[in-house]
Each structure stands twice: as structure tokens, then as C-alpha cells.
Amino acid sequence: MNINKVTIHDIAKALNINSSTVSRALNDSPRVTKKTKEKILKVAQEMGYQRNLLASNLRKNVTNTIGVVVPRISRHFFSSVIQGIEETAYQAGFSVIICQSLEQLEREKNILETLAANRVDGVLISISMETMDYEHLEGLKNRGIPLVFFDRHCNIPGTNNVLIDDFKGGYDATQHLITKGCKNIVHFSGPQELEIYKNRFRGYKEALKKNGIPFRDEYLISSRLMEQDGIDNVKKLLDKGVVFDAIFSANDVAAIGAIKCLIENEIKIPDDVAIVGFSNEPISTVINPTLTTINQPGFEMGKAATDLLIKNIKNETGLLREETLIMDSNLIERQSSQK
């Protein structure tokens, strides 16, 4: 007998009892005596029976599965978030399906459609840099699938968010550079259509304003914040003859590109240009000079987002809660800004 296809009917036949009795025993029904239940469970184990959890869960209209969508799994921050998600989900009896959008809107749409078709109980998502049309996300919400945004979010009423205080992070990074004597501070931003980069930019501007430093349009450079973008951004500044003594980058990856380009052009860091990144990627501690950055508690964010999602999944009222949790961040000073 193929043990992968053992059914309750096979167990019933081996014990010469009704299939319904076997089914009740396997589901721990009180209608079956302890002695009979033990006998059935023993034979089921010997025959290699495995319950069809998917079918069982679908009958209950649940799958005990959570979908997770991140821009890039390779980023340390997102892998830390996933660790927090998986640990919390596992403890609550949920499995996790992890997907990456690779910063592509169409890929993100297809992923969400696939997750919905596979009847996940809820979705955790950090949106891609291309996500400026929210129709696919609103569609998920309208189908009654609980949705929690983490890190990158969009303003959709009735959804839940677990975020870093991006305004404060942007403010702290810029204020730190100002205390080091910097006055011509360039900001490398992601797309300004996304709330996360909009808020980091707002924090940057507020710190300038508080210190009586005027904002200059040429100091805001938006890109996809890849390492090559950091290199290209510095090249553009140098080619245009823009005077700057500091860079606040909205992520570490572009900041590292900037460091490489400045070193190649024999510009001293931090003496000539001080740099602060955002996210505390592991490479920020090993690059020379080491990178000052805003630390994000990825693991804790993953746990909090999962807890919030599971609350909504288990909410029997049918009304999805609307809640936003703001997590604190902190600046870690390293060599790139130590003047």
C-alpha cells in the first residue's frame, strides 16, 4: 500500500469499523471512547496516515497561512522582519508564504492575486517603489482579507500599519550632521510619491528649518536607492559643481555607493563630506569608513506586524480593526560622520 495515500477508509477497513468513527477519532471527538480512539490512532500511525490539513482547513474556511510580500529578501532589514514574522506565526500555528516583488508593481499585483487564490488568511506587505496605484491592495481589503503594511505603506482607510517613525529618523540624521558643523546637506531620497520617503524628507527639511538653514532644490535627489544610484548621484553633484559637505541617504545601500564614489574622487570622509545612512545594514559596520546610520528594529517590527494581523484574522466580529503602530528608531554614530 502507498503510505502517502492511506485514507480513513483504509483505516476503517483494517479495524472493521465505520469510516465515520475513524474520522471522529482523528478529530478528537468526545463521541468516541478513549479506548477506541487510542486503537484508531495507533493503527493510523502504523499505516502512515497523514491528515489532509488543506482540505480540513478549507472546510473551516481557514488555511492557517499568512502571505508575506517584501521588496527584496536579500536586504538585511527585510530578512530580519521575516525572522520576526516566522517566529510569531509559528508560535500561533500559522505557516508563512514569503514572496518578493523586486520593486516591481506588476509582480506585486500578480503575487497578491496568487496569494488570494490560494486563500491565505491574511497578508503582510511592504510595497514596492513602483506602487503608486493602490487598486490591487484595495481589492484585497474588499475581499475581506486582512492586510497589514510594514515599513512601506500607503494611505488606504481601514488598513493596519507597523512603521518606523520615519519623520524622526530623517530629523535625527540631519540634526546629527548639523551638530557636526555641516550646512550644505544633500538628501538622497527614494520616490517622493511613497509615504516612507516623503516622511524622511519632511524630517530632513524640519531639521534644516529649525537650524535656520535654507532648503535648496538641488540638494534633493530621488532614485531607486541602489548602490549604483549612490555612485551616480555623487558624480552628478561633482560634475555640476554643487557645493556640499554632507549626505543624508534614505538607505544604507545608496550611502555606500556614495562613499565609494567619494573615495575614488579623493574626497575625504568625514572631513570633506560626512555621511549618514538609514537601516543599519550589516555592511555598514565593515565598509571603510564605517557608516553612521539610523537603526531599524526589523525583528521587532515583524513580530508586531504579525501579532496585529493575527488579531484581525481571529476577530470574529467580521469588522477589520484600523490601527497604526509607530516604532522608534535610533542613530548609531560611526566613522562616516565623526568629525
pLDDT value, residue 81: 97
| 173 and 286 fall within a common domain | yes
pLDDT band, residue 158 (cuts 50/70/90): confident
pLDDT value, residue 3: 40
Give me the CATH number covering residue 46.
Answer: 1.10.260.40
| 262 and 290 fall within a common domain | yes
Nearest to 248 by CA among 174, 197, 334, 315: 174
Which H or E run contains 69? strand 65-70
pLDDT value, residue 319: 58
- The pTM assigned to this predicted structure is 0.80
Q: Where are the beta strands (DSSP E) in 83-169?
A: 95-100, 122-125, 147-150, 160-164
| 155 and 245 fall within a common domain | no
pLDDT value, residue 42: 87
pLDDT band, residue 155 (cuts 50/70/90): confident
pLDDT value, residue 249: 98
pLDDT value, residue 53: 52
pLDDT tens, residue by residue, 239-266? 999 999 999 999 999 999 999 999 999 9
The cell numbers describing 150, all together, are 510594514
pLDDT value, residue 2: 43
Instruction: Provide the greatest CA pair distance for the chain.
Output: 89
| 140 and 191 fall within a common domain | no
Helix/strand/coil for 283: helix
| 173 and 281 fall within a common domain | yes
Residue 317 lies in a domain: yes
| 158 and 170 fall within a common domain | no
| 186 and 284 fall within a common domain | yes
| 122 and 108 fall within a common domain | yes
pLDDT tens, residue by residue, 101-151? 999 999 999 999 999 988 899 999 999 999 999 999 998 888 889 999 999
Q: Which residues of 100-117 are buried (b: 16+ CB within 10 A; e: fewer)?
A: bbebbbebbbebbeebbe
Looking at residues 45-63, what average pLDDT do you find? 65
CA distance 237 to 240: 5
Residue 59 lies in a domain: no
**For the chain, percent helix, then strand, then coil, each to nearest 5?**
45, 15, 35
| 285 and 316 fall within a common domain | no
Residue 1 lies in a domain: no
DSSP 224: -
pLDDT value, residue 161: 96
Give me the CATH number covering residue 94.
Answer: 3.40.50.2300
Q: Do 290 and 334 form a contact (C-beta atoms < 8 A)?
A: yes
**Residue carrying the nine cell digits 525572522:** 83
Residue 57 lies in a domain: no
| 174 and 155 fall within a common domain | no
Q: Do 203 and 195 form a contact (C-beta atoms < 8 A)?
A: no
Residue 3 lies in a domain: no
Looking at residues 299-317, what average pLDDT do you find? 90
Residue 309 lies in a domain: yes
Q: Is the peptide bond before 270 cis (omega within 30 degrees of 0)?
A: yes
CA distance 21 to 165: 56
CA distance 245 to 277: 15
Residue 2 lies in a domain: no
| 285 and 172 fall within a common domain | yes
Q: Who wins on pLDDT, 142 or 216?
A: 216
Number of separate domains in the chain: 3
pLDDT tens, residue by residue, 161-194? 999 999 999 999 999 999 999 999 999 999 999 9
Q: Is 218 exposed, middle or buried (0-12, 13-18, 19+ CB in 10 A)?
A: exposed
pLDDT tens, residue by residue, 2-33? 445 778 888 888 888 988 888 888 777 888 88
Residue 14 lies in a domain: yes
Phi, psi of 97 (to 5 degrees): -105, 120
pLDDT band, residue 57 (cuts 50/70/90): low
pLDDT band, residue 1 (cuts 50/70/90): very low
Residue 90 structural domain: 64-164+298-327
| 150 and 108 fall within a common domain | yes
